[in-house]
Structures are given as structure tokens and as C-alpha cells.
Amino acid sequence: MKTFDIPIFYRSPVISRIKNSRKVSDPRKKDYSPTELDFGPVIFYIARHFGFCYGVENAIEISYKALEENPDKRIFLLSEMIHNSDVNNDLINRGVRFIMNTSGRHQIEWSELNSDDIVIIPAFGTTLEIEKKLNEIGIDPLKYNTTCPFVEKVWNRADSLGKTGFTIIVHGKYRHEETRATFSHSKESAPTLIIRDISEAVILGEFILGKRKTEEFFKVFENKYSKGFDPLKDLDNIGVVNQTTMLATETQAIADHLNKVISAKFGKENIQKHFSDTRDTLCYATHDNQKATSGLLEKNADLAIVVGGYNSSNTSHIYELCEEKLPSYFISSADKILTRDLISHFDFHNQKEKTTQNFIPEKLPVKIILTSGASCPDSIVDEVLRKILTFFDNVRDLKEVLKDF
């Protein structure tokens, strides 16, 4: 796989070293068990796969290239390049301005832009409507386009399905930048509907089987369907694609459920005419991160620390997997670990930060799962590890622990 030229300060002497060692020893990722770092009083289990993915590194490389190549021009990002505040803040400090927030609300109006400006498309991609608007201003939206290739793969799959008569069901968060972009591209060639989770898939199945009145459809899925969507005919032939950062297992569960619904309506012998298997749109990094998290959870750990941006979809799903098994703490940086006994962490379910006391148990050794989302730099995970080590006495020397990596 291609390697990218990203700023050295995003790498780390500990985490990046471990990652590189695992890549050499297991290049085909057949082993998803974590790496164990035994410091004596504290043991860390480091996920086999986490942190910057192909799409994120590609986006970072292009963004810094845009800064380097255009020192005298105004440079804008359409919205957050990735969901990590450290990366976005560094770009802001270098003079990059954000046109919209993550919800699509303008912070800078189109009228303030001119043809001499540079606009970077974020890793999530953008809508065809925004591409058209930039072209009208005289700005080439593709010159510094950091759209993840795996997001584009979803778009291409949706386009091919639409051209063969299938309606596209998008598993995603309809306010998320990537899902908005996928919806915009998909609806050009096919009726398109966004569903959030398996519960909405069950409701959709009831409409497909005629168990719910058609007029209810437009209330249940308000703002989530393409113009002219007709549930009486557009749900006879469907294919499922996904926001690439969703839980792979849930996307599969949704596809499996809708497959059964379509089979019940048209017969198993006719399933290929009415349902398209689209498992190949699952992002490799999301898949690997989630499998690596499962590998982590096989360890008998005391707690888990998940590092990443609070608005990062893939990070939140890793956290969800961890919290099902053990005390888990979602933090954005080492600064959130206030003391040995106090941590400020993100309450994902209530969407706000809270503090927890005595999060590190009074026992030795303490066993800690450590991982991060696909948009989190290794350097931040490194800082978290090092800060926790300061809370313990008689810690083994870092060089000694890393000597085999």
C-alpha cells in the first residue's frame, strides 16, 4: 500500500514503532491479537490496527501540499478535513479557514470566495451541488480533493446499482458529511434512502411487506429520501451501501435483514433480481479497526481508553464495542487525564464531557486497553501512554520494553 508524506509530529517513537513492527511480522493482518507492553505495575494492550488510515493520511498529505504550493493565496477547507481537533487546529494555525461546520452550516458565505482562492475538499467528500457551486465561482473543486478512495468506491458501487434498476439504501448518519455526499451522488442515478440502524431497517422492512401504510413512510423517513421517492415501487429492488465508518457488523445485519424481507416478498429463488449483495463497500480500515478491537477485548483488562475526536464516527463505534465489556473512557488527548484518580471523558450517549474519579483501580498490575480512531495521530496515543506511566512507581524503562520491536 502507498506510503504518505505527512508531518513528522503526527508520528510517535512508541506507537509508530509498534505499528511498523507488526506490519513487518504480519503483513497480511492474519493476527488481530493486541501487542502487550509490560511496564511492571501497568500493562498496556495496544490494538493491532488503529489510528491514521489510508484515507486520512492521503487527506493530510494533500492538505499540507496545498499550503506549501500556495503561500500567497487564501486557503479554505470545505469543512473539517477529518474529525480530529488537533489536526484541524494545526491547519487553522497555518492560516486555513473553514467554510462550513460539520453539520453543513456556513461559517463563510460563498459570496466571500473568489476564483483566486484554494478550497480543499475533506476526506469525507462533498456533494455534487457544492462542486457545482465552486465551479461557478471559478474554483476547481478537484485540484485539492482529499476524498477518501474508499468513499468514492461506495459512490461508484451505488452508481452501478442505480443504472441497473436498484434503489440505494445508505446505512449512515444522515447529518454526517460523508453520508450527505454519498446521498448527493447516489440520487443522481437511483432512488436513495438513508437509514440509521437496524431498528430503522426493521421499520423499512414493514413498509416493503405492506405492513405499514405508505403515507407513514414520508413521516418516518423525513429528509432521508431522494426527490420523487415512491415506496410502492422503489423498494422492490434494493442494494445496501454504507457510510464507511459505521459498524461493519451492523451494516451486515441490516443487509441480512433486508435480504430476508425481500426473500419473503418475492421468494428466495428470485432474490438476485431484487436484492444486491454489497458487502464489498465496507471500508478496510473500519473493518480492521473493529476486528482489532474484538482482539483487544479477548484480554482480561481492567479498563479501556479510546482516543479520538468526539465527533468521529469510527472512534465512537470502537468505544461502543469496548464499553459493552469493561469500564471504558473516550478521551481526545492526554490532557483529559487530570490526575491518577480523575479523568475527564466524553459521555457518548449524552454527548457531553463528564469526570470520573478512581478510574484506575487500586491493584497491581493494572491492565489497560489502549486504542484510537482512524483520524487520531499516533503522537496523541503516545502522550496518553506516557502520562499514565507517570502515575506509577518502579516502571520498567521504555527502551527495555521496546527492545523487541
56 and 86 in contact (C-beta within 8 Å)? Answer: no
- Residue with cell string 491492565: 367
Catalytic residue among 178, 215, 323, 400: 178
Tell me how far apart the alpha carbons of residues 198 and 214 are, in angstroms, rounded to a whole number: 20
Tell me which amino acid residue 272 is: Q
**How many CA atoms are closer than 13 Å to the CA of 75, on its beta-carbon side?**
25
The 8-class DSSP code of residue 372 comes to: E
Amino acid in the structure at residue 273? K
Handedness of CA 172, 176, 180, 182 (dihedral sign): negative
* Known catalytic residue at 178: yes
Q: Is the dihedral of CA 371, 384, 360, 356 positive or negative?
A: negative
Report the distance separating Cα 206 and Cα 201, nearest Å.
9
Alpha-carbon gap, residue 342 to 357, rounded angstroms? 5
DSSP 33: P
Residues 6 or more apart in contact with residue 315 via CB below 8 angstroms: 83, 306, 307, 308, 309, 330, 372, 373, 374, 375, 376
Q: What angle do CA 241, 263, 208 make, to 5 degrees?
A: 70
Phi/psi-derived region of residue 165, left when phi > 0, alpha when psi is between -120 and 50, beta in every other case: left
CB 173 within 8 A of CB 200: no
CA angle 84, 285, 304 (to 5 degrees): 65
Q: Look at residues 170, 171, 176 and name the one whose alpha carbon lies nearest to residue 102.
A: 176
Neighbours of 226 (CB within 10 A): 18
Per the listing, cell 430503522 goes with: 200
Active site residues: 178
